[in-house]
Amino acid sequence: MKPESSHLKKKHISPYSTVRWVILVITLLIIMVPLIFVIGGSFKTSANLYQHPFGLSFHPTFSNYRAVIHDGGMLRALFNSIIVSVITTIAVVVIASLASFGVTFLSGWRGILPYGFLVIGLAIPAQASIIPQFVLFRELHLLNSLLGLIVINTALLAPIAVFILTSFFRKFPVGVLEASVLDGCSTMNVFRRVVLPLSRAPLSAVVILVFLGSWNDLLYPLLFIQSPVNRTLPLALIDLQGQYVTNYPVLFAGVVIASIPMLILYVVLQRQFVAGIMAGSSTG
């Protein structure tokens, strides 16, 4: 690997760029080697992985995948995760974009107050409210159901979506919107036909952030879900560990199944992923 500038301009390789490349290559190795081992190991037998961790497997076995699918219920969990994440994402986008529109364009305290109420949740960690939520969901008979997970994920992920969307809506030229109203457009139509189509970037950030948040959540499934048919992927993975303890190839096959959808999305939508995560982390 050579620094790009050197083979473009044929200039000397500076000590800075040598050091830079050494550091970057080491970093890439540290990040990628564990991932490569997970993928490679998922096609090995346990004995093979222990004896030749660095060896390439020329006799790939699919027995680990058969094990996690048959005994680990990973396909069912994959299906559940898709259902929960997709519906949560739709629900959050709907209620959060409506709310953000409302609080942005209401003047004075009537806008500030509900906005403050909605985003104060960003400071509340899930672990602080989960115990009473468990009691509440038990009373509502929403424990041990995918619907319960969807409902709680929607409530928890709405604040971050409101934060991102509101900060975007606030940059809107109000004149354009007022003109549409004067032209006889209803408030709902201003929202649907003017504001939403212009908000693709923040909406895709919200979609990614919310999808990722509910896809990777273990906390609520762990407390709310009891029966194996309702498990989502992270919970099914944790249960695999109880079942297979240190049979790494089986665990790895589970990890691969749980991660492949995200890997594909990341490769396809990389820019939106980065924008979404960045928007999420700058809330502090």
Residues 7-26 that bind other proteins (CB under 8 A): 16, 20, 23-24
Q: Does residue 190 interact with other proteins by CB under 8 A?
A: yes
Site for other proteins in 81-140 (CB under 8 A): 95-96, 98-99, 101-103, 105-108, 110, 112, 114, 117-118, 120-121, 123-136
Which of 126, 125, 162, 155 has its CA nearest to residue 140?
155
Interaction of residue 43 with other proteins, rule CB under 8 A: no
Instruction: Using only the alpha carbons of the chain, give its radius of gyration.
Output: 24
Rounded Cα gap, residues 128 and 193, in angstroms = 39
- Residue 245, Ramachandran bin (φ over 0: left; ψ between -120 and 50: alpha; else beta): left
Which residues ranging from 44 to 73 are in contact with other proteins (CB under 8 A)?
49-51, 53-54
Q: Tokens 């003109």, residue?
A: 179
Number of residues that bind other proteins (CB under 8 A): 110
Binding part of the chain for other proteins, among 59-67, 68-76, 82-90, 169-177 by CB under 8 A, reads 169-177
Of 224-263, binders to other proteins (CB under 8 A) are 233-234, 237-238, 241-242, 246, 248, 251-252, 254-255, 258-259, 262-263
Q: How far apart, in Å, are the Cα atoms of 251 and each of 211, 231, 256?
A: 24, 16, 9
283 binds other proteins (CB under 8 A): yes
Closer of 92 and 230 to other proteins (Cβ): 92
H or E element that contains 77:
helix 74-105
Distance, in Å, from the CA atom of 196 to the CA atom of 123, rounded to the nearest integer, reads: 27
Which residues, 196 to 225, sit near other proteins by CB under 8 A? 212, 215-216, 218-219, 222-223
Cα–Cα distance for residue pair 275/217, rounded to 1 Å: 20
**Part in contact with other proteins (CB under 8 A); list of ranges 56-64, 65-73, 82-90, 157-165:** 157-165
Structure tokens at 63: 């027995």
Structure tokens belonging to residue 67: 């094990």
Put residue 2 in one of left, alpha, beta given phi > 0 → left and psi -120 to 50 → alpha. beta
Which range touches other proteins (CB under 8 A), out of 56-64, 66-74, 82-90, 187-195?
187-195
Q: Which of 43, 65, 168, 220 binds other proteins (CB under 8 A)?
A: 168
Interface residue with other proteins, options 13, 75, 264, 278 (CB under 8 A): 278
Task: State in angstroms the smallest separation of the CB of 261 from other proteins.
Answer: 11
- 160 belongs to the binding site for other proteins (CB under 8 A): no
Half-sphere exposure of 147 (CA within 13 A, CB side): 6
The residue among 214, 201, 37 whose CA lies nearest residue 126 is: 214
Cβ-based nearer residue to other proteins, 3 or 61: 3
Quote the least distance from Cβ 195 to other proteins, whole Å: 10
Task: Tell me how far, at minimum, the Cβ of 58 lies from other proteins, in Å.
Answer: 19
How far is the CA of 111 from the CAs of 92, 108, 249, in angstroms?
A: 20, 6, 54
